[in-house]
Amino acid sequence: MVTVLLLAACAPTNTGSPPSSTPTTTTTTSDAEQPTTTTSDAPPSSEGEVKVDLAKGRGITLVGDHWYIHTSFSFTVTMTAPQGESPKDPLNVVVSFPGDAVTVFSTDGEGWSCQDVETGLSCTHADPAKPGEAWPVLTVNAGPPKKTTQNESLSVEASGPGKGTASVQMDLDTST
């Protein structure tokens, strides 16, 4: 199982490779149906830091530390509230995709409100989470709008009751 920590937005394809300035944790097992990658810039217990986890879904194959996407795909994003005081601000999440390489078909998740923005997806969850607990999972269903071959980074940024970021390299190949 591979877990990727990312700030998430709706993106059709994603690959997992965190920036070198971001400490990362990657765990790999032989579970072929549940590969995930986790990349976090802060330990889950840090005050003021939102932990962001991204898990690949259908249509994404893990190749090394990249997400390989050949068709429409989905992924989930889970954010965990900072330890300490209960968050009062809404959680804002921006998922950035490369150029016009990804089209978001839909998003799903209890309490999430999402809108397409020029660089990807912007989502808000108005309800607070208890310290150290996760907000409801955000699922993004996306796909490439045209035939393309690209190797780009998908990034996620969370803000509100704290901040957190993550990114992953995605290899998008819909040329055939």
For the stretch 70-117, pLDDT in tens is 888 999 999 998 888 777 889 999 999 876 778 899 999 999 999 999
Cβ(64)–Cβ(151) below 8 Å:
no
Question: Residue 99 has what pLDDT?
Answer: 67
From 83, 72, 94, select the one nearest 142 (Cα to Cα): 72
CA angle 103, 105, 164 (to 5 degrees): 75
From 160, 139, 159, 17, select the one nearest 78 (Cα to Cα): 139
Positions of the chain with pLDDT under 70: 1-47, 99, 145
Question: Residue 122 has what pLDDT?
Answer: 96
CA–CA separation, 51 and 163 (whole Å): 8
1-176 folds as Immunoglobulin-like (2.60.40)
